[in-house]
């Protein structure tokens, strides 16, 4: 069975600072990993996904994530936070059949001016 | 850009009543999903649906829940007799293919409040 842990339910950074949102996973098969973002009153939007093609994955809005098998991690980073990045971020892992996502608890990112 | 839509955005119902949540997936997608998020908790998988059959379901998805694709465009989630603990945001999603690498596209959600 898959599981995802996101360390830090709330993260606060200053505008222009590095964003680091942590995700650790557990999976019995090679994982497919995803980061979704949820803006207020909106659905979940895919930021990026890891599908074993490359360990460093680039996504939309300047975000990227690095898959580290030895650490079972898939942390999300952005070099310079923007006010518009304030949202909730969810890490998720797919089962092997691809018909079910297991989500982490989410991390709310706040960006201070 | 095509998107998943859901109606209503907010539904209030009395305990014991039946509710139907509606979704219109992206038109060329073949796989459909429901998830829910109780306030302050994780997004949880409920069910996946393909070719008019349930392909996977969680233990949350008991006999009180059912899904249907009544026509070529809608995908519905029915809760037969709502409980207080069914209050949550319900998300519909769809994907073109299956397999862990396929992206699921999510709708904006329906907030269900059971009184």
Quick one: average pLDDT of B62-90?
95
Q: Does A70 touch chain B (CB under 8 A)?
A: no
Count Cα atoms within 13 angstroms, Cβ side, for B3: 12
Which pLDDT tens digit goes with each residue over A25-82? 998 777 889 999 999 878 899 999 998 778 899 999 999 999 999 999 999 999 999 9
Whether chain B has a CB inside 8 Å of the CB on A40: the answer is no
pLDDT value at residue A93: 92
A50: tokens are 């890891």
SS (H, E, C) chain A: CCEEECCCCEEEEECCCCEEECCEEECCCCCEEEEEEECCCCCEEEEEEECCCCCEEECHHHCEEEEECCCCEEEEEECCCCHHHCEEEEEEEECCCCCCEEECCCEEEEEEC
Nearest-by-CA chain A residue for B91: A43
The predicted pLDDT at position B80 comes to: 96
pLDDT at position B58 is: 95
Least confident range from A11-15, A64-68, B2-6, B31-35: namely B2-6
Cα A102 to Cα A35, B32, B44, distances in angstroms: 11, 16, 7
Average pLDDT (B45-60) is 94
Predicted local confidence at residue B70, as pLDDT: 86
Residue A61 pLDDT: 93
For A22, B72, B95, the CA distances from B80, given in Å and listed in that order, are 39, 23, 27
pLDDT score of B40: 84
pLDDT number for residue A28: 73
Residues of B in contact with A88 (CB under 8 A): none
In whole angstroms, what is the distance from residue A75 CA to residue A70 CA? 13
């Amino acid at each position: 069975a898959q599981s995802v842990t996101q360390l830090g339910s709330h993260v606060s950074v200053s505008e222009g600072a590095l964003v680091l949102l942590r995700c650790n996973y557990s999976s019995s098969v090679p994982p497919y990993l995803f980061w979704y973002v949820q803006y207020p009153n909106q659905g979940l939007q895919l930021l990026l996904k890891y599908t074993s093609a490359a360990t460093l994955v680039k996504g939309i809005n300047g975000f990227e994530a690095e898959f580290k098998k030895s650490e079972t991690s898939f942390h999300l980073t952005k070099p310079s936070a923007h006010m518009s990045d304030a949202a909730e971020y969810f890490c998720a892992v797919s089962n092997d059949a691809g018909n079910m996502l297991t989500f982490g608890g989410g991390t709310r990112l706040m960006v201070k001016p | 850009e095509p998107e998943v839509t859901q109606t209503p955005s907010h539904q209030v119902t009395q305990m014991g009543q039946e509710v139907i949540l509606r979704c219109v997936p992206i038109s060329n997608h073949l796989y459909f999903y429901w998830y829910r998020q109780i306030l302050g908790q994780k997004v949880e998988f409920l069910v996946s649906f393909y070719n008019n059959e349930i392909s996977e379901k969680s233990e949350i998805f008991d006999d009180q829940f059912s899904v249907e694709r009544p026509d070529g465009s809608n995908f519905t989630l029915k809760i037969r007799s709502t409980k207080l603990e069914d209050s949550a945001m319900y998300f519909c999603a769809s994907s073109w293919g299956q397999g862990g690498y396929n992206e699921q596209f999510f709708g904006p959600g329906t907030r269900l409040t059971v009184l």
